[in-house]
Amino acid sequence: QKTTHSESSQVKKSQHAEEAIFYMNCRAAYLAVFKSSLENIKSKEQLSLVFQQAGRSPSQKTVNKYWTSQTTSLNFDDFCTILKQEKTATKTELLEAFGKLDTDNTGYILHDELYQVLTMRGERMSRDEVSSILKQGDFNCSGKLDYSKFCDFYMATSEQCCKIAREKLEVDSRLRQQQFGSQTETSSSEGITLPVSKPSPRISRKTDHKVAPTKGDSRTPSRPSSAQTCKAAVSTTITMGASSHRNTKLIEPDTMKEWQWAQSKGCFYLEEDGEIISHKYKLHLAQRSAVCITIKPLNIRQVEGKSCPWLSVDTGLYILRENETQEHLQLVSFTEQQTKEMFGWKGELGSGVYWLLPFTTGCRLKKVKQQITGEAKLVYRGEDGDLALTKEFRTALLDIFETIDLDGNGLLSLEEYNFFELRTSGEKCDEEAWAVCKENFDMKKNELTRQGFMDLNLMEANDREGDPSDLWVTLLSLGYNKALEMTEACPFVIDVYAEKCKPRIKAMYLEAGSWQLSRAVCKSVVNKGEAKVMDGCENIIVHTYKAGRRITSVIENKSENKVIIHVNNEQSKNCLSNRGLTVFAVEVAPKSMMVSQHVMPLNEQEECLYNCVHSLV
């Protein structure tokens, strides 16, 4: 047992060391371009530049994936998340790519052939760009490229970029003190300006800075070296028994059968960089009324042998009132009451327009490496030679139809179909194109039927002569893996009950969490949670709030300077953090607050101990 414990401790140390090195490299690359990690990336050119400083060589396609037409800026935390996704190519991978061109396995590629490939296929290079590569004498001779030597040159150049950035970071002692950096949550990265206010009377002071080690535990602290200079700390401990994961305030819509009702479906989608996007809704109430609003994962058909991971994803709604301008939405409340997998809120709302912003912590909906044994077949040719959709693909398409049919009437309106198109292709279908669809596919009342949707996908397969590549693009963008399992999406359903009037709910956007949602999350925790001041540092307050199965902590920085907060969860047990890390650090801008982390039980059938230490570095 001692040996096993020692090995486990060594593995943890190694993991923490790797994490620390990764974030040091991220910070080094970022600060090679910007003066501070609080500065934002404001253009594609800057994104390419920090990529290169991190030893990457991004294609335009890669840059466009993270800098879309809706992107206005990316922060340091976004950059860290992107680098986790965009690994540096290994020499083996590069050799395999060149090997596909070198069909005779000679180790060389003719310059003429390379010109043709690089200037006419994929992301095309100019002839001048190709010429600059072929002029390098180290790996070119007699009109041929020695691609093994080129790969060595590429790898050395990549490492040199990282080395120069690290050396620059080490020279500046002021930056070296911040070497661990921050990994702030995307949805909470925008600082929220705070009014000058007196400490809340709910604030308690914590003098016990350190968490006592478990008896017999002789582990060496594996926190990053920057944490050794902590000036102040505050610890928070919350225990959730296996039966306490459910809030006692139950929501029972059955008791409101006489109330008027409206419903809309939607979906959380996981992006390549780990960001979560979802539908956003407007709610209209004609008069003041008692209201009940609920959200839960959508229980679409379950295929035998297929898992339904989205059913365990936590969901929530933030209710904001629209004022004269959309930029000034007022937080009304959020769904903190819980019955099984459903979260809800019950209260009274005045007449007017409200925004419903869906929310999930990201604890359960996150990127997971999976071993897929084989790729599912999507189409096949029948005895007559015609293409047909496989049974498995048809089942997946029916589930997709159920998810994107937001109003649940069994038909797709142009508006509903365009949410699907925006997600899968980034483009909208206009009225003219919709009219063409009407001529070729089954429709009712100008809305696409299930059969019409099936035929539309079959047409796409026929256009590609059976090549399923485009079909897979659609499926992957909707959260499916190559085994046709939905692992990176969570469909949900919102129900609104009103006693005095007919509520109207409408999906308006499909986008990432806005600053309005970030602000709402922080405000809800500050308003409802327990606040603890860091001993000896009254300007730093950690707010912690438990709602049902979820614990959220928010760091409030009232000082005039940015601060780096080290977060340590090593003493927690059976806890799942949206950060994916046991130890990390966050950087909080002056006069702002931000989410530190969301935590949920790893196994809800067992007791969960949340023991977190926030330290000022």
The position carrying tokens 């977060």 is: 567
Alpha-carbon distance of 600 to 245, in angstroms, equals: 9
Residue 534 has pLDDT above 80, yes or no: yes
When pLDDT is cut at 50, 70 and 90, the band that residue 222 belongs to is very low
The position carrying tokens 């959020």 is: 334
Sequence ranges of the chain with CATH classification 1.10.238.10: 91-148, 382-487
Please state the rounded mean pLDDT for residues 19-26. Answer: 79
- The C-alpha R_g of the chain, in whole angstroms, comes to 27
* Three-class DSSP category at 21: helix
- Which has more confidence, 584 or 412? 412
Please state the rounded mean pLDDT for residues 355-377. Answer: 87
236 token code pair: 């928070």
Fold of 233-246+527-616: Immunoglobulin-like (2.60.40)
| Full DSSP string of 382-403 | -TTS-EEE-HHHHHHHHHHHHH
Sequence ranges of the chain with CATH classification 2.60.40: 233-246+527-616
Q: What percent of the chain has pLDDT over 70?
A: 82
**205: CB partners within 8 A, 6+ apart:** 532, 533, 535
- 59-68, 130-139, 143-152, 455-464 — which is least confidently predicted? 130-139
Residue 232 has pLDDT above 80, yes or no: yes
271 token code pair: 């992006």
Structure confidence at residue 213 (pLDDT): 35
Sequence ranges of the chain with CATH classification 2.60.120.380: 249-367+490-513
Buried b vs exposed e over 131-162: b needs ≥16 C-beta within 10 Å?
Answer: eebbeeeebbeeebbbbeebbeebbeebeebb
3-state SS, one letter per residue, for 567-599: EECCCCECEEECCCCCEEEEEECCCEEEEEEEE
Structure confidence at residue 190 (pLDDT): 33
The per-residue pLDDT for range 241-283, each reduced to its tens digit, is: 875 444 445 556 567 778 999 999 999 999 887 889 999 999 9
Residue 522 has pLDDT above 90, yes or no: yes
Q: State which of 118-127, 158-167, 363-372, 476-485 shows the largest mean pLDDT.
A: 476-485
Structure confidence at residue 185 (pLDDT): 34
Q: Under CATH, to which class is 382-487 assigned? A: mainly alpha
CATH dotted code for 249-367+490-513: 2.60.120.380
Structure confidence at residue 350 (pLDDT): 94
| Full DSSP string of 318-377 | EEEE--SSTTS-EEEEE--EEETTEEEEEEEE-SEEEEEEEE--SSSSS-------SPPP
CATH dotted code for 91-148: 1.10.238.10
When pLDDT is cut at 50, 70 and 90, the band that residue 502 belongs to is very high
Alpha-carbon distance of 405 to 547, in angstroms, equals: 30
Structure confidence at residue 573 (pLDDT): 93
When pLDDT is cut at 50, 70 and 90, the band that residue 348 belongs to is very high
Q: How would you class 304 by CB atoms within 10 Å of its CB: exposed for 0-12, middle for 13-18, buried for 19 or more? A: exposed
172 token code pair: 């500046």
146 token code pair: 């020695």
Alpha-carbon distance of 285 to 199, in angstroms, equals: 37
The position carrying tokens 């429709």 is: 443
- 343-352, 512-521, 539-548, 591-600 — which is least confidently predicted? 512-521
The residue type found at 376 is A
CB 268 within 8 A of CB 313: yes
When pLDDT is cut at 50, 70 and 90, the band that residue 226 belongs to is very low
Residue 434 has pLDDT above 50, yes or no: yes
**221: CB partners within 8 A, 6+ apart:** 227
Structure confidence at residue 124 (pLDDT): 65
Considering the domain 3-85, what is its CATH architecture? Answer: Orthogonal Bundle (1.10)
